[in-house]
C-alpha cells in the first residue's frame, strides 16, 4: 500500500528535510486531500505538536472527517490518543511515548489495533521528541518488545528524509525479519523501484517529498 503524507506546520502543509528545514509548502490541506483521493489511507502528522510548540487540532479533525487517516504528532498521553480517535483518526502514531511507561496507558485507552509505533532512526539510533533527541538503542533492538502495544510500525530512515536520495532497503529488510507486525517505510523513498522493493518485502510506503516535487507521479502510483 502507498500512503501519501500530509505534514502540518503552522497551519500549512509542508515538507521538511530531516525534520528541520522547510523546503516547500503544498496546497491547502483539503486540496492535498483531494489530490490523494485515489489512495486508501492518508498519513497526517502535526509537526507543531510533535515539536511541543502548539497544535493543529482543527485541521487534523477536518482531514480525519474527510478521509481514512493515520494521525501522529505529540501523541504522548492516553488523553491525546483518545482525543484523536474521537476526532476521526483511524489510527494514532505514537513515537516518543512508546519508549516510556505511557505506552501501556495509551494502548489500554484506544486498543493496540489502533496504534502504530514510530521507529525513527538517525545514524543507526532511535530519535525522539520530533527527532530532536537521540536514544542509545536501535530499532532492531526494540521492535520485538513493542509488538504487544501496537498493530504495526512506522519506520522512518531519518538520515535520508526529504533528501530524494533513496532509502536504506537493507535496514527495512532487517526490520521485516524482526517482526511479523505490519511495517510502513518512510524516509528517502524516491523511485518506483524503491516502492516495489519494499512491496516485495510486504512493507507499505509512506511518501512525501517525492510526490510533492513531482518526482513520483500520482497517476502512476495508483497502479502500484
What is the predicted pLDDT for the residue at 165? 66
Q: What total of structural domains would you count in the chain?
A: 1
SS (H, E, C) the chain: CEEEEEEEECCEEEEEECCCEEEEECCCHHHHHHHCCCCCCEEEEEHHHHCCCCCCHHHHHHHHHHCCEEEECCCCCHHHHHHHHHCCCCEEEECHHHHCCHHHHHHHHHCHHHEEEEEEEECCEEEECCCCEECCCCHHHHHHHHHHHCCEEEEEEHHHCCCCCCCCHHHHHHHHHHCCCEEEEECCCCCHHHHHHHHHCCCEEEECHHHHCCCCCHHHHCCC
What is the predicted pLDDT for the residue at 28? 87
Tell me, yes or no, if 46 is annotated catalytic. no
What's the whole-model pTM score?
0.91
Choosing from 48, 120, 194, 204, which is the catalytic residue? Answer: 120
Containing structural domain, residue 90: 2-221
State mean pLDDT over 190-195: 93
CATH code for the domain of 167: 3.20.20.70
Tell me, yes or no, if 120 is annotated catalytic. yes
Choosing from 7, 46, 48, 194, which is the catalytic residue? Answer: 7
Amino acid at each position: 500500500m502507498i500512503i501519501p503524507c500530509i505534514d502540518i506546520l503552522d497551519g500549512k502543509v509542508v515538507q521538511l528535510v530531516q525534520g528541520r528545514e522547510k523546503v516547500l509548502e503544498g496546497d491547502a490541506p483539503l486540496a492535498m486531500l483531494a489530490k490523494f483521493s485515489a489512495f486508501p489511507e492518508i498519513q497526517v502528522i502535526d509537526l507543531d505538536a510533535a515539536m511541543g510548540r502548539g497544535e493543529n487540532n482543527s485541521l487534523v479533525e477536518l482531514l480525519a472527517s474527510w478521509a481514512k487517516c493515520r494521525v501522529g504528532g505529540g501523541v504522548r498521553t492516553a488523553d491525546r490518543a483518545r482525543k484523536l480517535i474521537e476526532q476521526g483518526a483511524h489510527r494514532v502514531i505514537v513515537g516518543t511515548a512508546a519508549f516510556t511507561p505511557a505506552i501501556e496507558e495509551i494502548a489500554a485507552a484506544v486498543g493496540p489495533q489502533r496504534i502504530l509505533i514510530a521507529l525513527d532512526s538517525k545514524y543507526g539510533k532511535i530519535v525522539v521528541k520530533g527527532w530532536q533527541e537521540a536514544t542509545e538503542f536501535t530499532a532492531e533492538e526494540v521492535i520485538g518488545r513493542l509488538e504487544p502495544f501496537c498493530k504495526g510500525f512506522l519506520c522512518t530512515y531519518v538520515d535520508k528524509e526529504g533528501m530524494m536520495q533513496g532509502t536504506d532497503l537493507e535496514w527495512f529488510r532487517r526490520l521485516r525479519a524482526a517482526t511479523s507486525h505490519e511495517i510502513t517505510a518512510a524516509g528517502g523513498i524516491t523511485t518506483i523501484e524503491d516502492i516495489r522493493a519494499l512491496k516485495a518485502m510486504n512493507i507499505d510506503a509512506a511518501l512525501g517529498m517525492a510526490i510533492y516535487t513531482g518526482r513520483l507521479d500520482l497517476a502512476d502510483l495508483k497502479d502500484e
